[in-house]
Structure 1
Amino acid sequence: MADILYIKGFRIDHHAPEYKDSYLSTITSLCHLYDFSFHRQVTFFVGENGTGKSTILEALAVNAGFNPEGGSKNFNFATHNTHSNLYSATRVIKGADYPKDGFFLRAESFYNLASNIDEIGDPIFLEQYGGKSLHEQSHGESFLSLMLNRFRGNGLYILDEPEAALSPSKLMTMLVRINELVHQNSQFIIATHSPMLMAYPDADIYLLSDDEVKKTCYEDTEHYIVMRHFLENPQKMLHYLFHE
């Protein structure tokens, strides 16, 4: 059975004024990105800070109809107009199927999302998020509550660093939930630094760097290599880091 893809790919127009006349043209990884195709229901974008992972996800989310600061297509709150214009220079290629659900989760503006849910003040609406204010839960609990209660399947879920508030055990819970939703015909596009999330089987991992954007194996990611070396011998690694 073929993977369900609600977004099949995207194309960045490097000649568009929104791209070439802005800081976007200085993000070197984007200079190597023209046409991109998705092949799996779970795709990870990884790389160092500043390589454009969040910028790409934001452009995809806005083109898919989501609020730039996060949420479903029904959210329209705005606290800071800081999103880039990459969405204007990006053409999203949609699949044959239309998602029945969807959400754009970005860790940096999750507080604003939780506040907007409280401001709506609709008990029925709140039930979709577990029936309890996300502000009355820990950061990690609220992230999981969102995935466990709000994500319903047959959906497009764009997640920007969802691991930010989660302990290792909660990350495993998130992996289980992602797997459940994938089996319910969902597509995930995720920017992450977490080696645990990247371990999801049959996912595609794309490394963004100054030199290129390339598909890579899990074991070849710097995230996995550094974490493995550290856990195998933390004292040796600390000795090296502290030059002792």
Structure 2
Amino acid sequence: MRVLVVDDEPLSRRGVCLRLARHADIAWVRECGDGESALALLRDTPVDVAFLDVRMPGISGFDLLDRLPPASRPLAVMLTAYDQYALRAFEAAAVDYLLKPIDDGRFEEALARVRMRLGGAPVVDAAQAAPVRCFTARIGHRDVVVRVDDVEWIEASGDYVGLHVGAKTHLVRQTMQQIEQALDGRRFVRIHRSTIVRLDRVAELEALSNRDCMVRLHDGTLVRASRSYVDGLRAALGL
């Protein structure tokens, strides 16, 4: 894919470019330090995806998208150190929204979303999808059926995903992304790149100084919600 990175901070641009360099499907990467030069490049050069800083002198990332005809806009991943722009990013139809300093796991998730969009994968509304009813965990020579209704929270565990049911943890050999896509988005929400919780098990949220949040479940379990996911969690809870 052809990628444009637009950010007025050279170190920030370099960080994105270094992450992109790890992927064999990146055909080329161009850099721009301001919105004006990016706008000129985009008018003459086909670009598949643009990583756009939200706040720049002159033309902002959102202004840049607004000035391009819809048919010629690249897919956009918004970059910012401020989390109040999440709704604006959604309204601009951005593929994803990454907070600085960028988390490697979240960056990989954003790139996966870009690949799905470029590959023409259908976008399915979580409320309309048919969620799974159970998972199968392998224990020795036995296959244990774990009902989704019994799962309280889920965490990444190496090459596996741990399904927490009361005091037990069942390991399933799937990725967090696969698990997230299989679940009902009205009942389960991702709160960290390594954690998913069932909404009706959430008892309390405690804001932290770095804009993360501690989530206490009804059984007293404490899990951390990273700042990239806190807004989504609060919205899902109706807060």
Q: Which structure ranks higher in relative contact order (CA pairs < 8 Å, sequence separation ≥ 6)?
A: 1
Q: Is this a same-fold pair by TM over 0.5?
A: no
Q: Whose helix fraction is larger, Structure 1's or Structure 2's?
A: 1
State the structure with more CA Rg: 2
TM-score (norm 2): 0.30
TM-score (norm 1): 0.29
